[in-house]
Structure 1
Amino acid sequence: MTTDERTDPRTDPRTDAGERETLTAFLDYHRETLLMKCADLTDEQLRTPAVAPSTLTLMGLVRHIADVERWWFRTVLAGEEIEPLYYSEKDPDGDFRTTASTTWDATLADWRAEVAAAREVTAARGLDDLGVRPSRSGEPFNLRWVLTHMIEEYARHNGHADLLREAIDGVTGE
């Protein structure tokens, strides 16, 4: 089965939109793509790696991207002093890791909360507005840069999700 044979929930970005609408629409498109790759699977399937020795799973990708949303929007742009959801200095890949007790419902709820927070941060700023936390070299990030980076982050991981989903049940598509 291909994605086209199922209902595609994504909204195509407008081709005549301004810069801000284009950036946010493409980010939302990629957010929806990642969820689409996880649709109609069990918790066990969402915790299934595609190819040994990799331990990468669809649920791990969603956990990771929830932490990425949290970092870039809430910590870097808004300056919130909050801990990551899943990783730590002792376990820097904890966001990718799942266990038998890791559930899709909890993972999805965390991801949705971080996306909602990211949208609030985005709505309160202009594209040129600078974040609070600077880069390693001391340069500030503006909202435009963060939105572009998040599109890149999702696009890369959606490529991983394509392969994981195909290995799980043969579903393919963009």
Structure 2
Amino acid sequence: MTAERIDPPLIAGEREMMRAFLDYHRATLAMKVDGLSDEELRRQSMPPSTLSLLGLVRHMAEVERNWFRRVIDGEDIPLVWSDEGDYQVAYDARTAARSEAFDAWRTEVEHARRIEAEAPSLDVTGFLAQQGEHVSLRLVMLHLMHEYARHNGHADFLREGIDGAVGA
């Protein structure tokens, strides 16, 4: 999975800027996992953590699905990896299939892009059941950028531990 990462514009409207930064962070995760074997993608960080690059990909599929499809679009669908709503299940990639994880992630990113593009504005709201509150698409996009940025930092350390690759 090779990703092209395009730098966000230096000057743009709010929506274009947010979309570009979110796609930048999505592409960064794709770059962090590029060229690794299944075994390397499943390699865990350090005990007691079970964190792995493949687990991060699975988690981000879950995050994309929850925030865009379940919250903003109001779809009544389960999480990707857990019918019981357990977000931690995604992180356990010890026996996960690479193709299933990446297919789910790409599918959820495409759904998210479609939902965002079809929304008339960033002021569109959805219902966040966990908190019993309505949230805007603007908040969702900012939250996703935060999630990717944080987990891309984890991915930096995981990748360096696997093959020494740093940066990007």
TM-score range, shorter chain: over 0.9
Q: Aligned residues, how many?
A: 166
Stretches of structure 1 that go unaligned for 5 or more consecutive residues are: 1-6
Question: What amino acid maps onto 1:29 in structure 2?
Answer: Y
How far the C-alpha of 1:9 sits from its partner, in A, is: 2.4
Alignment of 1:142-157 (within 5 A): 142-157=136-151
What displacement does 1:104 show? 1.6
> 1:17 is matched with which residue: 12, 19, 24?
12
**Of the two structures, which has the highest relative contact order with CA contacts closer than 8 Å and spacing of 6 or more?**
1
TM superposition shift of 1:134: 5.2
Q: Give the aligned CA root-mean-square deviation in angstroms.
A: 1.7
Gaps of 5+ in 2: none
2:112 matches 1:118: yes
Equivalent position amino acid for 1:68 in 2: V
Is 2:62 aligned against 1:63? no
Q: Judging by fraction of residues, say which structure has more helix.
A: 2
Change (3 A) 1:132 1:86: same
Could you tell me how far 1:91 is from its partner in structure 2? Answer: 4.8
Partner of 1:39: 34
Matches within 5 A, 1:1-174: 9-89=4-84, 91-100=86-95, 102-125=96-119, 126-133=121-128, 136=131, 138-174=132-168
TM-score, normalised to structure 2, is 0.93
Runs of 4 or more above 6 Å deviation = none
**Distance (whole Å) between structure 1 residues aligned to residue 3 and residue 69 of structure 2:** 30
Classify the secondary structure of the residue corresponding to 2:133. Answer: coil
Per-residue CA deviations over 1:63-103 (Å, capped at 9, x if unaligned) read 00100000000000000000111134385411100133x22
Give the conservation status (yes or no) of the 8 Å contact 1:66–1:115.
yes
Q: Is the CA contact (8 Å cut-off) linking 1:69 and 1:118 kept in structure 2?
A: yes
Cα separation, partners in 2 of 1:154 and 1:90, compared to 1, 3 Å: closer
Q: Hey, what's the Cα distance between the residues in 2 that align with 1:69 and 1:146?
A: 9
**By how many angstroms is 1:14 displaced?**
0.4
Alignment check: 8 A CA contact 1:38 1:58 kept: yes
